[in-house]
């Protein structure tokens, strides 16, 4: 899945087309290629860890201010606005994004799964990471 993500981004880069309303630049490709958690997720045992491409990736990669960087990463309009303008939105709200990230896995496995927010820009992290827990009958534990 990750290779398909990279290929899609490379196609947008070559053709000069937009990926979710943003151009794909050399620096975005350099950011994504070593991050196998990005978009597709990386399985570690019975957990799939997933990160997103920053919402405004090119600006995010250029930004040095930590608050602005968190703002540029966030995909949620409500969360993004609270980072810059307040009042603070609880990171519990990021469970919505965790639910979004687990949907493809639930569809593929035809069962409900548990997902959690491991990192969140609303908690002060510079990126968000979600963990989707796969059942032991699918991925046996050692």
Q: Report the sign of the C-alpha dihedral through residues 111, 116, 119, 120, in that order.
A: positive
Which pLDDT score is estimated for 116?
A: 96
Domain boundaries in the chain?
Answer: 2-133
CA distance 70 to 63: 10
Which pLDDT score is estimated for 122?
A: 96
pLDDT at site 60: 97
Looking at residue 56, its pLDDT comes to 96
Give the pLDDT of residue 142. Answer: 62
pLDDT at 138: 80
Contact present, 117 and 98 (Cβ < 8 Å): yes
Structure tokens at 100: 């979004």
pLDDT score of 141:
65
| Mean pLDDT, the chain cut into blocks of 10 residues (142 residues total) | 95 96 95 95 94 96 97 94 92 92 94 96 96 87 64
Q: What is the pTM of this model?
A: 0.90
């Amino acid at each position: 899945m990750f290779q398909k993500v990279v290929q899609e981004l490379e196609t947008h880069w070559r053709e000069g087309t937009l990926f979710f309303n943003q151009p794909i630049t050399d620096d975005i490709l350099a950011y994504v290629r070593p991050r196998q958690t990005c978009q597709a997720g990386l399985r570690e045992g019975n957990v799939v860890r997933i990160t997103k491409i920053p919402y405004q990736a090119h600006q995010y990669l250029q930004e040095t201010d930590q608050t602005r960087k968190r703002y540029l990463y966030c995909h949620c309009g409500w969360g993004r606005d609270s980072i810059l303008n307040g009042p603070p939105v609880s990171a519990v709200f990021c469970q919505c994004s965790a639910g979004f990230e687990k949907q493809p896995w639930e569809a593929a496995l035809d069962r409900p799964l548990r997902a959690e927010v491991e990192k969140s820009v609303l908690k002060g992290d510079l990126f968000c990471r979600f963990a989707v827990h796969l059942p032991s009958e699918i991925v046996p534990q050692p």
